[in-house]
Amino acid sequence: EVQLLESGGGLVQPGGSLRLSCAASGFTFSSYAMSWVRQAPGKGLEWVSGIKSGGRTYYADSVRGRFTISRDNSKNALFLQMNSLRAEDTAAYYCVNQLGNCDSTSCPYYFDSWGQGTLVAVSS
Amino acid sequence: SYVLTQPPSVSVAPGKTATVTCGGNNIGGKSVHWYQQKPGQAPVVVIYYDSDRPSGIPERFSGSNSGNTATLTISRVEAGDEADYYCQVWDSNTDQWLFGGGTKLTVL
């Protein structure tokens, strides 16, 4: 059974930093693309960042330059370093594994298994 | 950037058919995935690659995609289908995965 367990959320002041972690189990972590998806209170889903099995990274316009995604395949772990945090980054952050077909020009993965999320609150 | 448009809400009586749409410029040329999210829970994929259904998802859930509209159809709607539904695509122009704004399905 796939399990994704997020940690690292909390309350941080605007301009501050947080590092989210996701511990993965139940599948061959190194073979799969992974992403972070967030959901602000009462709002819809927003994809934040993704990383393919080979390490190529992707970012939403709203976080590019402030957030950095990484993975440690030896530890089955996914990370999201969040810097220069803003009030609008307040959300539940989900760790998700991605399945499907991907080539050099198109990557229409879908989001398969989701963690339960970790809450990030940015407020003074 | 590419925009996915969903109606904010859809209402349907039990036993009837619910249709949730997802509009986008030539979305028929993209692969569309659909997610169900119930209150306090993480989302669950209910349709992937336009019309494929994961194991464990009832056959009552189906999907189609053509032209400028993708559609999630739920037949014989049950009270337990009440949830938020999101469509999602890959935007090759920006190398980003995108979600629609979500549709709240209410079972009357």
Q: What is the pLDDT of residue A104?
A: 78
Task: State pLDDT tens for residues A57-115.
Answer: 999 999 999 999 999 999 999 999 999 999 999 999 999 999 998 887 788 999 999 99
Q: What is the mean pLDDT of each run of 10 residues along chain B (108 residues)?
A: 97 98 97 97 97 97 98 98 98 96 98
Residues B34, B85: Cα–Cα separation, whole Å = 7
Residues A73, A78: Cα–Cα separation, whole Å = 8
DSSP string, B7-43: -SEEEE-TTS-EEEEEE-TTGGGS--EEEEE-TTS--
B-chain residues within 8 Å CB-CB of A109? 90, 97
Task: State pLDDT tens for residues A62-77.
Answer: 999 999 999 999 999 9
Q: Which of A3, A16, A1, A17 is nearest to A77 (CA)?
A: A3
Query: With an 8 Å Cβ cutoff, are A116 and B42 in contact?
Result: yes
Query: With an 8 Å Cβ cutoff, are A110 and B49 in contact?
Result: yes
Residues A12, A51: Cα–Cα separation, whole Å = 25
Cα of A94 to nearest chain B Cα, Å = 8
Residues B47, B35: Cα–Cα separation, whole Å = 7
Could you tell me the two tokens for B4?
């996915």
Q: Which of A42, A99, A69 is nearest to B90 (CA)?
A: A99
